[in-house]
Chain A
């Protein structure tokens, strides 16, 4: 045994559990891939192009940010890919691609980089991007196209390829010429809200209704989310809280007031962005309060706000603003729900004999 042998020193603990930030994020990407694939199946190459353009725009912005800060490697943590995919899934499938690129840039630049990058953002970056384009391009973001249109794998939805800063092609006539019966260019939420026409729950479950690229099949999103939750890569309590909060507000309205105006629990949970929001956006841990009681409160707040915005505001979908508002109050929630620590109350109880 030689005397100049090298030994390593280090402080305890000397062992470490497996999942890293990158592996957690990578698993979220895996969980989103089936949802993306189904969106492409339903809406064709337009949806595919949108996913690629938005994600690419997010990655480029992140690269630019790295360059400005003279650092490297933040692309490897997959969080930017998640933001890109989620953002693309919240947009209408025929959304002009250049607008998608703008949304991706805003999501990363304003939503994430400005706050200091991964872990520092107050708001969910994907939703910041979407909120921006919702305000900037109000027509394009409410133009919906039918699912499973014929020839969707061969031709783009006309509006997708619109030139930057020019008025997009009107897709209404295009949709009608496809000859799909009864397509009104409205999502189930809009039909329900403004015309009180309820869509069937099975169509919502399988995603056979018009809507954003990824806000369609509740079943598929639920399965992907469950897979993540089982692998402990996602906090199921937040999702459960969102559903509970939504039911807490919608059930009394539906059964207590007017079942025509206020939809039932099945519709509330299955329609619009509820599933995608509850399972993949509300659970973005960076913006959550992270205390055990806090995450429940946070989920309940998102669920309740979603229904309130849907029913009582000019918008027909509310999950985006619900999550953004909850992101804003998350630090307050965390503050008032700090866990009770071991031995905090001076109990002087004797053990049972």
Chain B
């Protein structure tokens, strides 16, 4: 046991080590952002059914008030991020491209940061079901980037039991430091969120995985653990894409989540530190999610840092406040490996926005546009954390053999981390092909059904 502990390294096989570029922001404390004159609050900031607006144009809303309620279980409510007047409910640009309905709020000038609506909950006496209901009521969706409704995740399928809550503090995307700052500045909130969720999912123990480029956060959290907490902090090697659920579980515990299966099948629940810290803050006071910590950085930003930004703040306002160095740039929501480049600066900060990266035209090391033929060098195989064969998949995608990709080469196990495209010396847009192939396969399956 001792020997195996000596040789067992907490990391994943394969993966990549892109330059992490976190030094600009990881030392910067979280700062509060001013209100934009007008907020764009999309009704769909989470995966699942969009919320249903319960306000009308011209109606006054108070910061913290529910302005849209959840449409069933696979949905979360939305709270007003600021006090003001509803200007309209209209189609507005989104990060994904197509326009979607959003509530436009004209913020009263000089609005305070006070949150009016809050009802204290007696958390000591809530059972698991009530805790999950409280999670839905506060509108929580995964703050790590996927924005999956947290209460849906915490509702464990009845045939499974959870023994371990895995807390994801790896933050493996380059540039992003929100989880890092939250762990450093809000360890008590994080731990109270962990204790609540552990109760909600019925886990015996908790394991927090933090990459070795955030050892200060490890010390801060370890120092605040109570002797009776069944919580341990494990340091893992900094590597991308270790923050992916499947990879994190492998690094921390050495077990694999079955292909096409849920973590609960192997008794695990995984949640991100940002989400848990927000729950630790919001659940006790019964408040809704109205703001979040966002890393804003990149070569094009004059004042990079971590900011607590009201949801619905348009990117245009964010960039105006922080100053932009270049005229022509690329703006990315999320990290550089999986984030989406936005086509319009009217896109707002939403629950899933972990970062905003702004780059001058040539500052990104420029993804080359000339695509060469595959020379079968095998770098993609050595990078793929799921052990797929991206080279073969890429060749098949070129021939539009999307079915064979899925049936023989495990296309659906691809986590779309982008390691294959990152390493490809021929610049073949591999992960981009795979996303298209998956979409086409899904559409065809729907047509058949």
Contacts and interface: CB of A to CB of B under 8 A. Distances in A.
A15 interface: yes
A9 B343 contact: yes
Nearest to A337: B389
A347 B418 CA distance: 26
Interface stretch (B32-40, B117-125, B218-226, B331-339): B331-339
A213 B377 CA distance: 28
Interface stretch (B132-140, B208-216, B285-293, B378-386): B378-386
B345 A24 contact: no
Given A12-B340, A346-B258, A290 B391 contact: yes
A260 interface: no
Contact of A9 (B261, B266, B342): B342
Interface stretch (B41-49, B66-74, B80-88, B361-369): B361-369
B372 interface: yes
A5 interface: yes
A284 to B, nearest CB: 9
A13 B421 contact: yes
B262 to A, nearest CB: 11
B284 interface: no
A173 interface: no
B427 A16 contact: yes
B328 A342 contact: no
Interface residues of A, number: 50
Given A12-B418, A118-B373, A339 B387 contact: yes
Interface in A1-45: 1, 5-24
B373 A291 contact: no
B18 A339 contact: no
Given A341-B386, A342-B385, A286 B375 contact: yes
Given A9-B342, A9-B343, A350-B267, A16 B368 contact: yes
Interface stretch (B100-108, B149-157, B247-255, B271-279): B247-255
Given A7-B342, A17-B18, A285 B376 contact: yes
Interface in A308-351: 334, 338-344, 346-351
Given A1-B324, A343-B261, A15 B365 contact: yes
Given A292-B381, A339-B389, A9 B246 contact: no
B128 interface: no
Contacts of A16: 365-368, 421-422, 427
Nearest to B207: A351
Interface in B260-306: 261, 265-267
A159 B340 CA distance: 64
A271 interface: no
A119 interface: yes
Contacts of B332: 12, 14
Given A11-B432, A285-B377, A342 B413 contact: yes
A296 to B, nearest CB: 12
A240 to B, nearest CB: 15
Given A15-B422, A17-B16, A341 B328 contact: no
Given A15-B174, A292-B381, A341-B386, A21 B432 contact: no
B341 A11 contact: yes
Given A8-B361, A118-B372, A343-B258, A24 B425 contact: yes
Given A15-B336, A16-B365, A290-B391, A24 B328 contact: no
B319 interface: yes
B343 A342 contact: no
B256 interface: yes
Contact of A17 (B324, B330, B336, B423): B423
B259 A344 contact: yes
B127 to A, nearest CB: 26
Contacts of A350: 163, 266-267
Contacts of A6: 327-328
Contacts of A23: 425
A10 B341 contact: yes
Contact of A351 (B254, B329, B410): B254
B388 interface: yes
Contact of A342 (B253, B320, B386, B425): B386
Given A21-B372, A341-B410, A7 B343 contact: yes
A247 B323 CA distance: 66
A15 B357 CA distance: 12
Contacts of B257: 343
A343 B265 contact: no
B418 A119 contact: no
B339 A14 contact: yes
B167 interface: no
B316 interface: yes
Contact of B418 (A13, A288, A338): A13
B253 A235 contact: no
A290 B374 CA distance: 12
A295 interface: yes
A20 B425 CA distance: 4
Contacts of B391: 290
A175 B16 CA distance: 56
Interface in B394-419: 409-410, 413, 418
B105 to A, nearest CB: 21
Contacts of A77: 372
A338 B327 CA distance: 48
A117 interface: yes
A12 B339 contact: yes
Contacts of A1: 316, 319-320, 324
Contacts of A223: none
A120 interface: yes
Interface in A57-111: 77, 79
Contacts of B421: 13, 16
Contacts of A7: 328-331, 341-343, 345
A21 B375 contact: yes
A287 B377 CA distance: 10
Contacts of B418: 12-13
B320 to A, nearest CB: 6
A115 to B, nearest CB: 11
Contacts of A9: 330, 341-343
Interface string B57-101: 000000000000000000000000000000000000000000000
Query: What 3 A-B pairs are tightest by C-beta distance, nearest first?
Result: A119-B373, A13-B418, A343-B259
7 contacts: A7-B341, A9-B330, A9-B342, A20-B368, A292-B382, A338-B409, A342-B250
Interface of B: 16, 18, 163-164, 174, 246, 250, 253-259, 261, 265-267, 316, 319-320, 324, 327-332, 334, 336-343, 345, 357, 359, 361, 364-368, 372-378, 381-382, 385-389, 391-392, 409-410, 413, 418, 421-423, 425-427, 429, 431-432, 435
Interface of A: 1, 5-24, 77, 79, 117-120, 235, 285-288, 290-292, 295, 334, 338-344, 346-351
